[in-house]
Structure 1
């Protein structure tokens, strides 16, 4: 009985594997040690959480079996959700040596003395595990950083991936409606968080790879979420930043909500942030350099006196990711980034201003899809400053 539950048609995975192997061949590599769970999901469909331990997918340049080394709790999931051909298990013990087992797997694949790429830019490979791999491979093969081989392929989304992102965007929009409905003075901000997460899950989405940012009061200047509930004041500003998530694909939205009505400085700052984001969105055109988006961000905010209150980067790529982040990076959107925009790329540009002295803050952001003629904003919501 075939119990596989793949997120895409098998033909799409096979095409991805073929493109990855072609890239390895262009680099003169014999194989790639894939430690990123995002890579496992993209190439084979494997959807799991074992990446927090030692877990590696071996992709050979030649057509040899796709081989996964994982722990026992991950075996059934790997079998059911992926196209992995062979699964090897390492067992928890005081003398456990998964790096040594990985070397033996490579030897069995005929890769002794080979030139092998390794994914280093991933949460799936800790510094300690990387050191263990280096020791195990010393004298066996030549390791080289090839973190960009699959991540580069993942930048341009297929039509099916875009469909998942559209669903994720709809979930994010529905969650915003739910957040607006519960936002009012006296409510703890955790109620807003609950509305976002409940709406996403009831809509058929997944738990986001990171918790929603729901910051108010003096916390509104923070660029990350913070623990502990806070009641909303009669005169307050609430900033939301979160991802709608569907089949691991994330679509982000950032909005600001006024409780009790905005002050004049808040109203003026909102207009600046809104106009800046709208101009940034227009810069997403095929052939343009990604860094040009941040040039707009910097020029507008710096001219308005907010050079010290803005971020050094104004967004990032989005796709299918796992904890701890919905950010699918690199690339980040910063001045000087030469990445050429192509149709099918998806980014989250956002404008966040936070003054630690006055506690004046404002944030807005949208997910955009680069199209053949420009870009499409995926959210149905405008960039107004609603009052509750």
Structure 2
């Protein structure tokens, strides 16, 4: 059986004020009730962080928050996460399950729900998250079968998190400044003969020395032919006198990410690559112009396709061209859904923070060029928060 501990009397989250967290939690409870639910099972670490301030990596095992429409919140977590839960979160009731051969946290979750009088209730659950593995999800389904009705509710906190508060925007602006500084440091370090991993080191050192955190993924630093790849690849590569390096990374502060993509060129680029760079710059301008309140997020994707396809780069571009940003945990800085792609009807709203990017990688020529910026949706359009030069 689990042990029970009292939560914090006066939580002091680092990234926003406790009063803002309490307001979010109150609004969340209203939303839970409005959807005809009696409670929500929170498994996504980003949801814990946004709604209660909980900042811990315990989601890699089994960590569940119970948010009822009425009554105290409860967190079920492991012993190593107890102190952090008490110091960072609004959870007043913390239950700890212990590692053992017969450990069954899903069964302990059922016992807690029964204690709260939620037998026969309609309970929302977050499934589309790194915080609930397939194995743990199956264990929850088995444990709660016949006990209550589980309703998929991944959208509930997700939609509330998309529009950022003034305090969140302030943190992201600081992260964006770190991203710009990291690009400058990488450009200054780029030279023939060095390993491209040196650029990775300069990137992380700039972010960390500037007061930021380790990002939840990356950085991506792809040189030579690797520059056409859409993902990072293991092992450093030595830069040549004439070379290309596509960098994409998140500068992170209090879990909030500001992403940037740039291309570093060594030596005189061929005319074909200069044309790539000019086209990507036009595409980025068109994408930012399309990012307006009330428009579908797919309009950004349509602008991306329109410019790149007209220039003959259909074969070298990606189908999707960006995503929202926010506070995320490992393994990704991508805060999705919604992805930015043509045809996506999701409405753009003021306060959303997005990362549109245009990446060209030509497998035939081996040439690449990419750029991307963190933007804030304003009441009238979009503001670029990352402003490092493209070249």
The interval holding the TM-score normalised by the smaller chain is over 0.9
CA distance in 1, matches of 2:96, 2:325: 32
- 5+ long unaligned stretches in structure 1: none
CA distance in 1, matches of 2:260, 2:10: 35
Structure 1 residue aligned with 2:52, among 39, 44, 48? 44
Alpha-carbon shift at residue 131 of structure 1 (Å): 0.4
Alpha-carbon shift at residue 305 of structure 1 (Å): 2.1
CA contact (8 A) 2:12 2:18 kept: no
Matched with 2:342 is 335
CA distance in 1, matches of 2:11, 2:181: 31
Work out whether 1:10 is the aligned partner of 2:18. yes
Alpha-carbon shift at residue 3 of structure 1 (Å): 7.4
CA distance in 2, matches of 1:326, 1:342: 20
What per-residue deviation string (whole Å, max 9, x for no partner) do you get for residues 120-141 of structure 1? 1110000010000000000000
Work out whether 1:108 is the aligned partner of 2:115. yes
Local SS of the residue matching 1:102: helix
Work out whether 1:70 is the aligned partner of 2:88. no
- 5+ long unaligned stretches in structure 2: 1-7
Matched with 2:3 is none
Alpha-carbon shift at residue 304 of structure 1 (Å): 2.1
Work out whether 1:144 is the aligned partner of 2:151. yes
1:172-191 correspondence runs (5 A) = 172-191=179-198
CA contact (8 A) 2:184 2:388 kept: no
What per-residue deviation string (whole Å, max 9, x for no partner) do you get for residues 71-101 of structure 1? 1100011101111111111111121110000
CA distance in 2, matches of 1:378, 1:288: 20
Matched with 1:61 is 69
Alpha-carbon shift at residue 4 of structure 1 (Å): 3.9
Structure 1 residue aligned with 2:302, among 289, 295, 306? 295
CA distance in 1, matches of 2:385, 2:315: 30
Work out whether 1:27 is the aligned partner of 2:35. yes
Matched with 1:380 is 387
Alpha-carbon shift at residue 336 of structure 1 (Å): 1.4
Matched with 1:271 is 278
CA distance in 1, matches of 2:295, 2:280: 22
Aligned residues: 383
Local SS of the residue matching 2:299: helix
CA distance in 2, matches of 1:2, 1:130: 32
Work out whether 1:347 is the aligned partner of 2:373. no
Matched with 1:120 is 127
CA distance in 2, matches of 1:129, 1:309: 39
Of 222-231 and 132-141, more deviation after overlay is shown by 222-231
Alpha-carbon shift at residue 22 of structure 1 (Å): 1.4
Alpha-carbon shift at residue 235 of structure 1 (Å): 0.5
Structure 1 residue aligned with 2:266, among 256, 259, 263? 259
Matched with 1:232 is 239
CA distance in 2, matches of 1:15, 1:375: 27
CA distance in 1, matches of 2:156, 2:377: 21
Alpha-carbon shift at residue 15 of structure 1 (Å): 1.0
What per-residue deviation string (whole Å, max 9, x for no partner) do you get for residues 5-25 of structure 1? 312111101111111111111
CA distance in 2, matches of 1:380, 1:313: 22
Matched with 1:159 is 166
What per-residue deviation string (whole Å, max 9, x for no partner) do you get for residues 198-223 of structure 1? 11001110000001010010100111
Local SS of the residue matching 1:59: strand
Work out whether 1:90 is the aligned partner of 2:111. no
Alpha-carbon shift at residue 308 of structure 1 (Å): 2.2
CA distance in 2, matches of 1:369, 1:222: 27
TM-score of the aligned structures, taking structure 2 as reference length: 0.96
CA contact (8 A) 2:124 2:151 kept: yes
What per-residue deviation string (whole Å, max 9, x for no partner) do you get for residues 17-37 of structure 1? 111111111110011110001
CA distance in 1, matches of 2:218, 2:356: 19
CA distance in 1, matches of 2:91, 2:10: 14
What per-residue deviation string (whole Å, max 9, x for no partner) do you get for residues 328-369 of structure 1? 001110111111111100000000111122211110000000
CA distance in 1, matches of 2:17, 2:226: 44
Alpha-carbon shift at residue 257 of structure 1 (Å): 1.0
Local SS of the residue matching 1:48: coil
